[in-house]
């Protein structure tokens, strides 16, 4: 087992171990005296893993119930959260009970937000089952839902009590969604670890997935500890996300996955910053090659003008502008704010 300690305002541990999902109840009990636990999962994950987690929770003294929503980013809405609240009420969930997020990023984001907001705050734990959620979204305490006008515009910072990462769950993940998670992994290589990026180029990600998870989570942990509330340095984790979220919005949250959008956003932005002499030449070609290697899209039907226009309303807006993350070279990045009145000129190329 590998353990990563996260020293935020509410410290917690991340455990990475093959088969840990079968013992989830033991770890949840170690951080909670709750009587009741609600497992939140989607229609893809629940049939495979909900029974295993429920049995383990029951064995460790929890009274369990299960809330399942239809899988898909398009369900990441306040209407789904309201249904979760109704479930909590029906099962007499109190502030001393606990929510268990079992699934990918959409599940973790919504379950975390529901936990943060119901009764003004209930403990929750993360059991991420997709690569994207294991390397990124389950760590750091960001929770939320999408609005029609933009992604993750409503949410809360709410740290989990514990995160249980079982790499074995990736064996049931369709290839498309493994590749989706690689979008975030590539991001980590781009912003903080040229050695990780090199390994992704030279090796098969599925054969080194334990190392990929550990290094990605460690990078995110280090950044989050410096800036838990996302007021400064944590912005570097948004590399590729500004254009990525714009693309998801343009595709109406159904024609492209989050990881695909992030990776494509990173490619588009890096091509521009290379042309402007901001980024070392050749970086965008290396990103392009990795996207091809992991079967992610490298082009879009939407114009750059469409994408830039769709960044309006992004939650990373600050004052009169928007923060973009630029690469100096693979492994090194910096934050650059572009004012709204200069955005068109900057991206004219």
Q: Are residues 19 and 160 in the same domain?
A: yes
pLDDT at 149: 86
pLDDT at 50: 98
Q: Are residues 89 and 135 in the same domain?
A: yes
pLDDT at 150: 86
Read off the pLDDT band of 322 (50, 70, 90). very high
The last residue of one of the domains, among 125, 151, 172, is 172
Which DSSP category does 310 fall into?
H
Q: Residue 275: is its pLDDT beyond 70?
A: yes
Count CA within 13 A, CB hemisphere, residue 276.
Answer: 15
Mean pLDDT, residues 24-36: 98
Q: Are residues 201 and 152 in the same domain?
A: no
The last residue of one of the domains, among 172, 190, 208, is 172
Q: Are residues 80 and 33 in the same domain?
A: yes
pLDDT at 315: 65
Of 219, 205, 264, the C-alpha closest to 240 is: 264
Read off the pLDDT band of 349 (50, 70, 90). low
* C-alpha distances in Å from residue 250, one per residue of 72, 131, 144, 246, 347: 16, 24, 20, 6, 18
pLDDT at 53: 98
Q: Are residues 128 and 220 in the same domain?
A: no
Q: Are residues 135 and 75 in the same domain?
A: yes
Q: Are residues 165 and 186 in the same domain?
A: no
Whichever domain contains 142, its CATH number is: 3.40.50.1970
Dihedral of the CA atoms 76, 77, 80, 82 (nearest 10)?
Answer: 140
Sheet with 2-6, strands from edge to edge, namely 2-6, 12-16, 162-165, 123-128, 98-103, 36-42, 63-69
Q: Which residue has the higher pLDDT, 94 or 321?
A: 94
Q: Residue 316: is its pLDDT beyond 70?
A: no
Q: Residue 317: is its pLDDT beyond 70?
A: no
Range of weakest confidence among 35-49, 52-66, 221-235? 221-235
Mean pLDDT, residues 296-303: 96
Tokens representing 141 are 């305490």
Whichever domain contains 266, its CATH number is: 1.20.1090.10
Q: Residue 319: is its pLDDT beyond 90?
A: no
Mean pLDDT, residues 82-93: 98
Cα(329)–Cα(193) distance, rounded to whole angstroms? 11
Residues 6+ apart with CB under 8 A from 170: 129, 130, 131, 134, 178, 209
pLDDT at 148: 87
The last residue of one of the domains, among 149, 172, 195, is 172
Q: Are residues 163 and 80 in the same domain?
A: yes
Question: Which residues form the domain of 307?
Answer: 175-346
Cα(43)–Cα(72) distance, rounded to whole angstroms? 9
Mean pLDDT, residues 109-134: 98
Read off the pLDDT band of 145 (50, 70, 90). very high
Mean pLDDT, residues 203-212: 97
What average pLDDT does the chain have? 96
Q: Are residues 146 and 288 in the same domain?
A: no
pLDDT at 341: 87
Q: Are residues 82 and 231 in the same domain?
A: no
Q: Are residues 155 and 59 in the same domain?
A: yes
Q: Are residues 219 and 265 in the same domain?
A: yes
């Amino acid at each position: 087992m590998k353990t990563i300690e996260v020293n935020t305002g509410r410290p917690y541990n991340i455990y990475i171990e093959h088969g840990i999902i079968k013992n989830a109840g033991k770890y949840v009990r170690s951080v909670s005296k709750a009587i009741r636990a609600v497992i939140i999962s989607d229609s893809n994950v629940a049939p495979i893993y909900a029974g295993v987690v429920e049995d383990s929770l029951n064995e460790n003294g929890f009274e369990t119930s299960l809330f399942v929503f239809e899988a898909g980013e398009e369900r990441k809405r306040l209407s789904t959260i309201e249904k979760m609240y109704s479930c909590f009420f029906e099962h007499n969930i109190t502030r001393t009970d606990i929510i268990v997020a079992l699934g990918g990023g959409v599940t973790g984001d919504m379950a975390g937000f529901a936990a943060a907001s119901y009764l003004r705050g209930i403990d929750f734990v993360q059991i991420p089952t997709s690569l994207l959620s294991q390397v990124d979204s389950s760590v750091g305490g960001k929770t939320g839902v999408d609005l029609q006008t933009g992604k993750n515009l409503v949410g809360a910072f709410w740290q989990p009590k514990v995160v249980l990462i079982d790499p074995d769950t990736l064996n049931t993940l369709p290839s498309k969604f493994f590749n989706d998670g690689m979008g975030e992994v590539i991001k980590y290589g781009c912003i903080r670890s040229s050695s990780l990026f090199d390994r992704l180029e030279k090796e098969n990600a599925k054969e080194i997935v334990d190392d990929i998870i550990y290094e990605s989570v460690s990078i995110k942990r280090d950044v989050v500890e410096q800036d838990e509330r996302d007021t400064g340095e944590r912005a570097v984790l948004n590399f590729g996300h500004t254009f990525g979220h714009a693309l998801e919005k343009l595709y109406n949250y159904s024609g492209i996955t989050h990881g695909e959008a992030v990776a494509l956003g990173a490619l588009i932005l890096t091509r521009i910053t290379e042309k402007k002499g901001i980024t070392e030449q050749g970086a965008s070609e290396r990103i392009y090659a990795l996207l091809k290697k992991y079967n992610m899209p490298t082009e879009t039907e939407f114009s750059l003008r469409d994408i830039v226009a769709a960044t309006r309303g992004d939650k990373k807006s600050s004052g009169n502008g928007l923060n973009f993350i630029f690469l100096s070279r693979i492994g090194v990045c910096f934050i650059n704010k572009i004012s709204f009145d200069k955005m068109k000129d900057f991206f004219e190329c």
